[in-house]
Amino acid sequence: MDKTNADPIFRHFYWVIIVIKMLCMESSYAQMANVGRVAPELELDNWLQSEPLQLKDLRGSVVLLRWWTHGCRFCENSAEALNEFFDTYKNDDFIMIGIYHTKPYPSTIPAEILEIYVRKKHFKFPVAVDSGWKNLNKYWLEDGNKSFTSVSFLIDQLGKIAYIHEGGEYHRFEKNGHDQCVSEYWELKNKIDQLLKNDP
């Protein structure tokens, strides 16, 4: 290949690699900044399938928080995994809370519409609304915009953030081109198992 023609191509790939590395570093920094800190208290509205819950009252249990919204394909594709986690660990010291955040922001959702969405996804665990994204901002967006808002936080028995799935989807079943989603499903499940087995 003529070096004159090759240089722009190599320069292009060089910058693509740099951008990818920067995104990965940003993701790692977000993880490092949050994992290990005490999880902020929840300020949620319109609880379904539970009385209002506070993290301070859930100490001793492993807690999974998953932000989701209607019309999000990542949330839709992860719904089955959430139901599996609930069914698998419902007799253990494990609490799952589905946190609905409205899109577009800001907007509201009538309680009866939220109930329809919850029934369609067959969610049996507590669900509440993150009005004005108060909790999403506290947990995830306070240091700037992220690629996803469909984030999951796993909280240990001491109330500390133990693991973050930074958004997008995860599921157990293979789909074409979804190897990463399956890998992240098992990573999250293994972390839940580890926390339940090794009570801090």
> How far, CA to CA in Å, does 167 sit from each of 16, 31, 89, 92, 200?
22, 12, 22, 25, 26
> Domain limits of the chain?
1-34, 38-197
Backbone angles phi, psi at 97, to 5 degrees: -130, 120
SS3 category, 174: coil
User: Which pLDDT score is estimated for 175?
Assistant: 74
pTM of the model: 0.82
What's domain 38-197's architecture?
A: 3-Layer(aba) Sandwich (3.40)
Q: How far apart are CA 49 and CA 90, in angstroms?
A: 14
pLDDT digits (tens, 9 = 90+) for 28-86: 445 555 899 999 999 999 999 999 999 999 999 999 999 999 999 999 999 999 999 99
pLDDT (tens digit per residue) in 84-101: 999 999 999 999 999 999
* pLDDT at residue 156 tops 50: yes
Are the beta carbons of 96 and 86 closer than 8 angstroms? yes
- pLDDT at position 199: 61
